[in-house]
Each structure stands twice: as structure tokens, then as C-alpha cells.
Structure 1
């Protein structure tokens, strides 16, 4: 920091910073440390599975506090404790109580008899206003048999617009699992987008336009179970020949976690590609089970993982396949380890793919 005006003999002097200023690189870290320290002093324990989650448990009650920078979600079974922590937060930091959750980080929460509906309707409307496009309805996120490459000789004239729209689509996937595959595909061409890539992006926007109010329903159930589905599109990328992993995890019948992502290495067979997809789904299952057990949601094991490749399931179950799978990285055999621990239960499903 430069010495401020008015200080006598400012040469060879510096300012000692006693508090972190807003906008500095370490400001967010300092803020989180201060907030975490305050919560710890109120007997809130930081989650081992999510550092932004704080829990206060007693024999009969649990209070949950989720943090995103300076936005806080607070819930629990003890209304007295909730009122108490809000008062203490207000005394320490001067907070604004916004009441029942309706809008948070671009997501809207609506309450119906079956549970809570999460949507991003306002964010979707703002996204669609960024670009003029034909309002011809599109019934699929991408055109049928869409294969995008870098061979198109026509560069798109406004790469910044392309990156902006794809970035917003990526944020929209927080409540729209149906857009996950299309978004990961379009994200591969952010550096030098072509006209064909932008045409595919416009098709996605046409689909979003007619499904603007779509979201996810989080149902309230007495007995919660986890089930997962994994799949892989072997060597689907025409550029790198890498496979694409996809998985979906349901808490009872509510979508909880999903992903569509290109695999980091080339798989030599469809079985290997499916096995890698199972590994990524298993990693997510492991994290979710540990997190839910912290929230007192127990009796989740074993979690059923559905797969449509018998060979991949046998690789996970049978270590005798070493000769055919010794080139697969050690971390992929994490799937087999979790199966032996009883975390997973693999089930064959013909309905995938």
C-alpha cells in the first residue's frame, strides 16, 4: 500500500494492514476464516465432506448452515436454535433476513405438496434476451446426429458472444440435467468457435426457449434411498476419439447429481469406457453417501448402480481380468474397491444408451 497523503516524511515508509480490504486476493479467504471461527465458537462443526457446510447436532435436533461467500442458507429441526444463530450473526456481522427461501444464486424455489421445485426461469429469460434467434421450436437439445468438428472453414465472427452464451448455459445446467451433454460438447470449441458451432448453439437456445420453466423436483420422502445410472458413448469425439461419460444419481426419485464429461484418456474398448464411467459415478456416490450420513440420512448402502455393459460389470467384480485391464489406471479400480466394501451394488439395465 502507498502511504496516504498528509503523513509527515512519507519516504521509506509503508502502511501496516491490520484488516483485509475488500477486493484484495486474500479478502475472501480472510472473510471465510472469520465467519468459520465465529460459527465454531457457537459449536457449529465444519463438514468433512463440504467445507462450506456447518452443522450443529444434538441428540434430537440438527441445524444446517450452508455458505456461499456472504450468502447463507439456514435450516434445521430446531426453530429456537435457528432464531438464536440469526440473532448472533446479526450482532456480529449485521445480516439481512430474507425469510423463507425463494431465490438463491439465480435459482428459484417453489413449494408444492410433493416437495420443492428448483428452476432458473429468470436466468433463462435473461439468457435468451442476449441473442436474437428463430423461435422455431426444437424438441431436442441438439440436432439429431450432430457431430461438431474443427474442420468448418468459416470462423464465427463474434467469439466473445459464443463464450458468453455457452458459459451461461453451463450455469443453467444446475437445474437442467437435459442440457449437460449439449453444454459439454459446445464447451470444447470456446477457443476458436466456427459458424457450425454457433448454429448448434442457436438450436440449444431454441430448445431452452420452449422449456424455459423446466427444473427439478425435490420430493419429500420418509425413507430415502440412492440409486445411480452411468453410461458412456465410446470414442464419440471425432477429433480426439475420447469417450464421453454420463451419470445421474437420484435421491429416491429426485435428481441430486449429474454430469456429462469427456474422459481424460482414450479407452481401448467400450467396456473400458463404461468402466471409467462407473468409476466417476462411484466417486460421486461415495461423496454423497458420506455427506448424507453427516446430515443423519443413513441406511443408504448398498447403492444400486445401473450399467448397460455386462463386461464392465465383470471387470469391477472379477480381479482375474488383470491381463485385459492392466493398462487401466489404478484409480479406475476404485470401483472394485467400493464394491468389495459394500458401498455399491451393480445392476444390469438394458434401458440405458
Structure 2
């Protein structure tokens, strides 16, 4: 983890060296960057594509990307989504990982900024995708918590139960978010 002081702006928490090493190790250091961490038209599920003959590369990449989410909330959702296919990854899933690596190529120094002149107001945003998992119909809770302008906490987690309505899924999401605040 790197702490980079940005003079009067504040402190930036980032993992630029880690990202550049990951890109170098995977051969993506010279790749063309993309502007989004995931193709919005890519509807990933377990039934698409051909199984990888050796899933260990996919699993190692996901592990490295999970570590990177410590300072990169912008990739948390995508890494969470891709980690769902660890048991039986396909060529389509690996292609989505490659797309994410291309996104990291364009944003290696991005991280969390803690501004020097930020207020101490707590702001919370949450959302849920009701029955978003196509195979289990479980919902996923997403939330972010800011202290002033600084991102303090974030999460993207599949709910443990299947909700019968969007209201029930929202209630589970509110509970998870409230628990984080306490």
C-alpha cells in the first residue's frame, strides 16, 4: 500500500506500484486502456463460454484483484462479479478479467483521496439489485459511506436469502448498511 501526500489537497491512498506490477506480470502493460471496468453489455453467468483447461490462472488473477479492491472501490463490483465464477471459469470470464486489466492500465494511480479541508459529515448511499443473480435469484447489496468527501467504507455483497419482492431486498440492504454504520 502506498500513501502519497498531495501537498495542499490531502492524502491519496493508492496501489500504483501493485497495479503496474500486475499489468507487467500479465502482459497488459502495453495494452490499450478502456474507460470502463466492465463492458456494460456483458451479462456474465456460469453457462456462457468454454471452460478454461487450467482455471488456476483465472483464480490467481481474481485473488490479486481482490487485494486491489482495498484501495479501488471503482473495481469492487466487477471483481465481486468475476469472483462468482472461480469454480468453473470460462474463456468469456477470462476475457472480462482482461477487460478489467485494460481499465487498470488507464487508471494505475487511482485510489482514495482524503482531502485536507473535508468536513466531518457522514453520508450514506445504498442500492440493491433485486434477484440480480440469474442462477440463484439472490439480490446483491451495494453501499458506500463517506466521511466528508472521503470514501470511508463500501461493500458489494450477495444477500444470503432470496427476496420475494424488491421491498424485502431493500430492507435487507438497509439492515446491512446500518450494521456497517454501527
> Kindly tell me: are residues 107 and 272 of structure 1, through their superposed partners in 2, closer, same or farther at Cα, counting changes over 3 Å?
farther
Q: Is the counterpart of residue 263 in structure 1 residue 159 in structure 2?
A: yes
Deviation at residue 136 of structure 1 after TM alignment: 2.8
With CA pairs under 8 Å and 6+ residues apart, which has the higher RCO, 1 or 2?
2
Cα displacement string for residues 325-348 of structure 1 (whole angstroms, at most 9, x for unaligned residues): xxxxxxxxxxxxxxxxxxxxxxxx
1:120 — aligned with what? Answer: 15
Deviation at residue 118 of structure 1 after TM alignment: 0.8
Cα displacement string for residues 70-126 of structure 1 (whole angstroms, at most 9, x for unaligned residues): xxxxxxxxxxxxxxxxxxxxxxxxxxxxxxxxxxxx233324212111110001011
1:215 — aligned with what? Answer: 111
Deviation at residue 127 of structure 1 after TM alignment: 1.1
Deviation at residue 236 of structure 1 after TM alignment: 1.0
1:108 — aligned with what? Answer: 3
Give the unaligned 5+ runs of structure 2: none
Q: Is the counterpart of residue 146 in structure 1 residue 72 in structure 2?
A: no
Q: Root-mean-square deviation (CA), in Å? A: 1.6
Q: Is the counterpart of residue 161 in structure 1 residue 57 in structure 2?
A: yes
Q: Is the counterpart of residue 253 in structure 1 residue 155 in structure 2?
A: no
Structure 1 segments (4+ residues) deviating >2 Å: 106-112, 220-223
2:27 — aligned with what? Answer: 132
Deviation at residue 160 of structure 1 after TM alignment: 1.2
1:276 — aligned with what? Answer: 172
> For 1:1-353, what aligned pairs fall within 5 Å after superposition?
106-133=1-28, 135-152=31-48, 154-221=50-117, 223-286=119-182
Cα displacement string for residues 164-205 of structure 1 (whole angstroms, at most 9, x for unaligned residues): 111111111111111010010011111111111101111111
Q: How many residues align?
A: 181
1:37 — aligned with what? Answer: none
Q: What is the TM-score of this pair, normalised by structure 1?
A: 0.49
In 2, distance between residues paired with 1:153 and 1:198? 10
Give the unaligned 5+ runs of structure 1: 1-105, 287-353
SS at 2:42's partner residue? coil
Cα displacement string for residues 34-77 of structure 1 (whole angstroms, at most 9, x for unaligned residues): xxxxxxxxxxxxxxxxxxxxxxxxxxxxxxxxxxxxxxxxxxxx
Q: What is the TM-score of this pair, normalised by structure 2?
A: 0.93
In 2, distance between residues paired with 1:238 and 1:196? 16
Is the contact made by 1:115 and 1:219 (CA closer than 8 Å) also made in structure 2?
yes
In 1, distance between residues paired with 2:128 and 2:118? 33
Deviation at residue 139 of structure 1 after TM alignment: 1.3
